Structure 1
Amino acid sequence: MTKTTKIILALLVAFATVIAIAFNTSNKSQESPKKMTPSYPSNIELAMYQHGDDWQKKYPTVVAAETQNFGLNFYKAMNFDPNALPSVTINAGETKTVIPKVLSISATEEKNRSPEIISIFITARVKNGGAMSHDEARLYILDLIEKFTAAGWKIAFSFNKPRLSGIHALNYYGADALDPNYKLSLAEWMQLDGSLNWKLYLNHTYMRVTVDRDQDHLDPNKPGAYIISLTIEPHEEVQRMYVDQKERDHWRQLWIPIARKLRSERNIKEATLKAQGIPIVSDYKDPELPPAPPGQQNPVIPKDLQ
């Protein structure tokens, strides 16, 4: 199963309709037992490579499992009280990252490998949800991004993309790869097309923060509607996707020529930008390869790729 298929399946699970739990209060009698409101935690913790069944056992009133799928196990949590949405704490290495006002959580395991969570997808409200001014949404989201960077998350560039920051990244990438350290003005915010994206990295973990807004309500003088989604994956899983599926268990043996090809593409793009007077973030280094599993070892990185 391809990564694209996995993502589509996860999105279908995660974007299921979020509804409040309904209670039937009619036809009550003294003989009828009272229906108890499920107990939902105010915070839910989840870690990469955690076993999905352990997560379900920790939050039995929240987490539901779908384990009859071919090749994948899905775990999902949603249908929270809309007036008391929980926060989610993601454990990335030794760093804990908090996402407030979460609407849904989904986690994915691969059955044919060690049954551990290798992908997390979260949707969350912007402030209290509903209609709000675009500037209100902008300030809330930029503050959340700032909290992530304060926790240690840093910008991550694709291996073949030029290393740009600030206004130069905005001009080159548009909304596809925003600099988390650049404070978009309201005018810049409103000029961006489509979803807004920040790609971050910390402790061998990647996190993509995506902000979607109602495309029919983009008048800067009228309220808009926003939602945040976060896709979190370990570095190991991201690296595996650079090779064909049948070769993914030994991708490390194939990495050096792949890295050279990607770096060459980046170098060409950066040389063109330098010739135009655009500065390159030359002190940015691609993340080190993730630790190798037992029985394997990382390749020695040659100087031209360091």
Structure 2
Amino acid sequence: MSKISIKIGEQGTAFAQRYPALVKIQHQPAGVNFYDVDWKQATPGSVTIEHGKYSFVIENVMSVMAGQDLGDEANEGLTEFSINAGITAPDRIPHDEARLKMYAILQQIVQAGWQMNITRSMPRLRGKDALDYQLVDDYTSLDASYVPTFEEWMKIDSRTDWRFYADHIFLTVNFTRESSLTDPTKPGAYLISFNLKSENEFYRGYVGGEHRKEWKARLPAELAKLAPLRAAAEAKLRAQGVKIDETYQDPPLPDLRSN
């Protein structure tokens, strides 16, 4: 199994030079370079997410894609990675085994020190409360510390997120379940997706592409719109007897001073 390591902030050219036989470079006229690594299903790769004490390894990887802006943000290096992997090497797997394997992967991330990241407009829920809310209201992050029952697992839709944060880096993990293989008594097929973003790239997403260059100036106003949404959702849930995690703290904001 071929192995690579990736790191937010590394220059794309340095990444490509470390793995010249694996990395393919796509030059885009818009001033962005994309760096791709692909493996065959029969011989998947292994990817180490390098992030100091928060590092961890992803196995059974099929592809890695990273992007780097070549304009004003070139000094930030690679600001986003998208990784696709199988839960296991075999193509098909019993659904309950997929449940256990998925949560083993999530626990590896938690044990590496990554913390749950709840979208700032959403209520601060944990455990089964987060799952119950997601099943009804499309909650933005499940709690990796809660292992659902098999019946609950089969109700979780594809692309449902587990969101994490660790020392200025943001991580989103989700799975895709093959829609034609959902009979709980028969094996299914799953793909796991990991999305890794730098702090700046993550917060740019709150502002929108058309204002990307002014994101630092616009971010406070955008975030101010979200706090009332969370407060309203939490008030409604409290009235229903649902526990809100008052101890949860949002990740710190980036340095918003102009460069």
1:229 paired residue among 178, 186, 193: 193
Where does structure 2 lack aligned partners over 5 or more consecutive residues?
A: none
Matched, 1:61 2:21: yes
State the partner residue of 1:252. Answer: 216
Q: Which moved more, 1:220-229 or 1:84-93?
A: 84-93
Do the aligned residues in 1 keep the contact of 2:54 with 2:114 (CA within 8 Å)?
no
Q: In the TM superposition, what are the counterparts of 1:122-201 in structure 2 within 5 Å?
A: 122-174=83-135, 176-201=140-165
State the partner residue of 2:247. Answer: 283
- How many aligned residue pairs are there? 254
Could you list the per-position Cα deviations for residues 155-179 of structure 1 after superposition, in whole angstroms to 9, with x for gaps in the alignment?
A: 1111111111111111111375211
CA distance in 2: counterparts of 1:110 and 1:46, whole angstroms: 17
Matched, 1:100 2:59: yes
Q: Do the aligned partners of residues 258 and 70 (structure 1) sit closer, same or farther apart at CA in structure 2, a change above 3 Å counting?
A: closer
How far the C-alpha of 1:253 sits from its partner, in A, is 3.3
Q: Which moved more, 1:268-277 or 1:41-50?
A: 41-50
How far the C-alpha of 1:92 sits from its partner, in A, is 2.9
How far the C-alpha of 1:93 sits from its partner, in A, is 5.2
State the partner residue of 1:12. Answer: none
State the partner residue of 2:50. Answer: 91
* Amino acid corresponding to residue 100 of structure 1 in structure 2: E
Q: Do the aligned partners of residues 240 and 272 (structure 1) sit closer, same or farther apart at CA in structure 2, a change above 3 Å counting?
A: same
State the partner residue of 2:180. Answer: 216
SS at match of 1:117: coil
Matched, 1:267 2:228: no
How far the C-alpha of 1:194 sits from its partner, in A, is 3.2
State the partner residue of 1:300. Answer: none
How far the C-alpha of 1:287 sits from its partner, in A, is 0.6
Matched, 1:119 2:83: no
Q: Give the superposed CA RMSD.
A: 1.9
Q: Do the aligned partners of residues 264 and 47 (structure 1) sit closer, same or farther apart at CA in structure 2, a change above 3 Å counting?
A: same
SS at match of 2:56: strand
Could you list the per-position Cα deviations for residues 79-131 of structure 1 after superposition, in whole angstroms to 9, with x for gaps in the alignment?
A: 34x44422101123552121111111110111223431111000111112312
* Amino acid corresponding to residue 134 of structure 1 in structure 2: H
CA distance in 2: counterparts of 1:178 and 1:109, whole angstroms: 29
State the partner residue of 1:34. Answer: none
TM-score (norm 2): 0.91
How far the C-alpha of 1:237 sits from its partner, in A, is 1.0
Q: Do the aligned partners of residues 143 and 117 (structure 1) sit closer, same or farther apart at CA in structure 2, a change above 3 Å counting?
A: same
SS at match of 2:24: strand
CA distance in 2: counterparts of 1:185 and 1:95, whole angstroms: 28
How far the C-alpha of 1:247 sits from its partner, in A, is 4.2
* Amino acid corresponding to residue 154 of structure 2 in structure 1: M
SS at match of 1:158: coil
Matched residues, percent identical? 32
CA distance in 2: counterparts of 1:74 and 1:183, whole angstroms: 36
State the partner residue of 1:27. Answer: none
CA distance in 2: counterparts of 1:63 and 1:178, whole angstroms: 33
Do the aligned residues in 1 keep the contact of 2:176 with 2:191 (CA within 8 Å)?
yes
How far the C-alpha of 1:245 sits from its partner, in A, is 4.1
CA distance in 2: counterparts of 1:60 and 1:254, whole angstroms: 40
Q: Do the aligned partners of residues 61 and 285 (structure 1) sit closer, same or farther apart at CA in structure 2, a change above 3 Å counting?
A: same
CA distance in 2: counterparts of 1:182 and 1:232, whole angstroms: 22
- Choose between structure 1 and 2 for higher RCO, CA contacts under 8 A separated by at least 6 residues: 2
How far the C-alpha of 1:250 sits from its partner, in A, is 4.3
Could you list the per-position Cα deviations for residues 10-50 of structure 1 after superposition, in whole angstroms to 9, with x for gaps in the alignment?
A: xxxxxxxxxxxxxxxxxxxxxxxxxxxxxxx7320111111
Greater C-alpha radius of gyration:
1
* Amino acid corresponding to residue 130 of structure 2 in structure 1: A
Do the aligned residues in 1 keep the contact of 2:119 with 2:141 (CA within 8 Å)?
no
State the partner residue of 2:2. Answer: 42
